[in-house]
Chains A and B, each alone.
Chain A
């Protein structure tokens, strides 16, 4: 009998739960340096837009957005004169609209920093695709209070929206085909295909 392994919080992921298969890389579209520069730029944009706001909460969508949210929160804290924002993780598995259509087991446990009443929440995810994960996140956030505003920061926008969701901050716009997959990690962003095993 094998022991159950705890789910690693910084596992790279795609926007959807993984189907079975092997990822074949076609090209690297962002390097680790590109990512660092994008994070720094987005951090400045966030500070610029929310100038004077003392109660920012930066919340990463598990699993893909967790490391990115931490990086953004550090970058924001590094900007001179700005206090560190509150940080958190949100797992939206139980709010998905496709439960029962594909296998879903929750990843990290949600930790929300205090009440969200009256705060500006910046949701952070690695890839924006159909928009359904973000819709589920907006739904989930309601259970924690009533934010003054919710903004969305993503590293990659790959198009193919199925809902009226748009990002406020984008690292890179990356047109993709439906049969392609985007893989994101701190080391880089790759585009490729998944071949079923």
Chain B
């Protein structure tokens, strides 16, 4: 590969922020400094040059649900969103609960526009009854395990999973939802669900499992990561547990700090998601949690669905929203945090949790060139028809956002240039 220089931007990484050009060759950063040149010039004037973003939580739907998304289309959406690494959730058909399934998805990921990593299921088939072969999957490099889409309902099984996992260098992640309390509720249980005549799930459906797993983590010493926390109560419990020294981490999604249950008023199933959109107080608690360190990462929970499924009646439609292409713009505009902190939440902190040494690291010579170049002032309107994802279910259709990815580099290759995917 010939050399290219990312010119005119401001480099922001875990070390800090400085005006600098970055030269990339043979897949690595070779120089960082002022007034650098190379054969190919990539303009980053007015932009932030950062380590590529890392998504701890997205659904690529392959194998089995290719109508909604594939590894390729999902990774293209990711690269347009500034991502260079994605952790794909195991609720595919069949589930990723064995070495063979891990292999299959990693193979699909080899030609993708992001580094594709895989989360393995905790239980066979994600059915919550029998432990899945965690060790065999860990041997293939899987670092995160979750039954996501569901939480592990049985406390005894969760305890054994934690004990077993604690001698492997892996993290158990939990989609916290107590199904007996949630009872399949289609939205947050409260003022809006009552008015709209829809069955709801109270915050306790999430909080009971957070409380249980914190206790089990204390009991077993396992490292636990809480996925998509959505309630003030959950975040308060995690904050207290961390203060007491427990090695837990937690993430929140962009929709949980930008939308509330009032969005469901028109019965558009685009706004149906698990955990559901909650109250204004909960939304503010997510924002505070991201600001004060109670939450370590922003994850998208990118959940594509075929259009006809999102046109079913609200209570029948599958839950989930797109997220990869809108996440960084929403984080930059809505969180009111300095750009370094936003990037910490979206790049180097999730990279650490996922165990990805190559991603999120400081931009310095010798390191792999997984980078994104973001124009924080570029305004654009979200149009579902022009998104790279195969699906259309974004809750932000028609919304004007500020902040857009101009270029993305994966291992030195431009996957996105001037806002267009290169393949």
A and B touch in the complex (CB under 8 A): no
Q: Residues of B with Cβ closer than 8 Å to A? A: none
Q: Which residues of A contact B (CB under 8 A)?
A: none
